[in-house]
Amino acid sequence: MAICAFLGLGVMGYPMAGHLVSAGHEVRVWNRTASKAIAWAGEYNGQAYGTIEAAVDGADFVMICVGDDPDVYAVVKPALEVMQAGTVIVDHTTASAECARKCHSMSREKNIGFVDAPISGGEAGAINGQLTIMCGGEEAHFDKAEAIMSAYAKATKLMGPSGAGQLTKMVNQICIAGILQGLAEGVHFAQKAGLDIDEVVQAIGKGAAQSWQMDNRASTMGRDEYEFGFAVDWMRKDLGIALKTAEDVGANLVLTKMVDDYYADVQKMGGNRWDTSSLLKRLR
């Protein structure tokens, strides 16, 4: 059993912290909105803390799942002031590789491990403990953290030094963006041609066109339903990080930029909190 602090109880973090309790760990939680931490503690028989410092003091691992680079810095800096040497920070936030490298450097100065560990699998993956986690950092720190992350992960992989996990997550989001645009156009075409979406998926869903998005979103797109987890606002944040990094490394992301612009159209339609399959809305 380990003492784990979990900082950030959003859509993903809330159930992830719960899995740590189920795995037998002592879990301390902090959330910017304190009422959510209190609610979590009541549901999972854990401990809610009013400050970051109190939550992480004496913890073996500090798991973070917040919004963006500034949020990560705002959590890591006070945490490092009280964490003990030899402990490990595991950051599940989707942030920039630069943020990961800076936090790794700050942590290393205090002999504290830092693993950037962005997650994929959406809300359902978090609830079911079936997340995929791509990591960057030092192998010794990853090895320690992997046993803890197994409480909510179906797969974890060390991709390289600090920042490599975040870079891999960018690849993930780039691929998803293209797949979702293709699926939106396919569903749109099928509807215009008078085909039944569910029957189309049955016909092509085991062939070369198959994808997780087709299996899980084609039918709901056909019914004009877009309340399934990962929101357009979050996707635009992730794609913004990827596009900025692409400029830095000299990568040409023509399709990704196009899809990001399409998501901006969806936001203008009021779809900020629709899930990412809502690209179909702008085609109708």
The closest alpha carbon to 172, from 143, 144, 210, 131, belongs to 131
Tokens encoding 40: 């979590």
pTM above 0.85, yes or no: yes
Report DSSP letters for 190-203, one per residue: HHHTT--HHHHHHH
- CA dihedral sign, ordered 12, 95, 150, 55: negative
Tell me which long-range contacts 139-145 makes (C-beta under 8 A, separation of at least 24).
140/113, 141/88, 141/113, 141/114, 141/115, 142/115, 144/61, 144/88, 144/113, 145/61, 145/88, 145/90, 145/113, 145/115, 145/117
Tokens encoding 80: 């490092």
The closest alpha carbon to 11, from 131, 152, 124, 116, belongs to 124
pLDDT tier at 4 (50, 70, 90 boundaries)? very high
Say if residue 128 is in the same domain as residue 219.
Answer: no
User: Is 161 strand, coil or helix?
Assistant: coil
Q: The domain that contains 251 carries what CATH number?
A: 1.10.1040.10
Whether the per-residue pLDDT at 76 is higher than 80: the answer is yes
Say if residue 157 is in the same domain as residue 23.
Answer: yes
Active-site option among 169, 192, 206, 268? 169
Say if residue 175 is in the same domain as residue 76.
Answer: no
Say if residue 140 is in the same domain as residue 260.
Answer: no
Say if residue 86 is in the same domain as residue 157.
Answer: yes
Q: Which domain holds residue 183?
A: 167-283
120 CB-side CA count, 13 A? 22
Residue 94 is predicted with a pLDDT of 97
Say if residue 116 is in the same domain as residue 187.
Answer: no
Say if residue 140 is in the same domain as residue 29.
Answer: yes
Whether the per-residue pLDDT at 229 is higher than 80: the answer is no
Strand-pair category, 119-120 with 131-136: antiparallel
Say if residue 9 is in the same domain as residue 36.
Answer: yes
Inter-residue contact 260 to 268 (CB < 8 Å): no
* Residue after which a domain boundary falls, among 140, 161, 182: 161
pLDDT in tens, 35-75: 999 999 999 989 999 999 999 999 999 999 999 999 999 99
For this structure, is 144 an active site residue?
Answer: no
Hey, which bits of 139-200 come out as E strands? 153-160
* Residue after which a domain boundary falls, among 109, 141, 161: 161
Say if residue 17 is in the same domain as residue 104.
Answer: yes
Say if residue 57 is in the same domain as residue 186.
Answer: no
For the chain, the domain total comes to 2
Range 198-219 average pLDDT: 96
pLDDT in tens, 98-109: 999 999 999 999
Say if residue 120 is in the same domain as residue 179.
Answer: no
Could you tell me what percentage of the chain is helix, strand and coil, using 3-state DSSP and rounding each to the nearest 5?
Answer: 55, 15, 30
Cα→Cα distances 61→49, 113, 149, 216, Å: 16, 9, 10, 34
* Residue after which a domain boundary falls, among 105, 129, 161: 161
Say if residue 172 is in the same domain as residue 114.
Answer: no
Tokens encoding 174: 């780039």
Q: How far apart are CA 53 and CA 83, in angstroms?
A: 8
Q: The domain that contains 42 carries what CATH number?
A: 3.40.50.720
62, 86, 59, 114: CA torsion to nearest 10: 0
pLDDT in tens, 130-183: 999 999 999 999 999 999 999 999 999 999 999 999 999 999 999 999 999 999
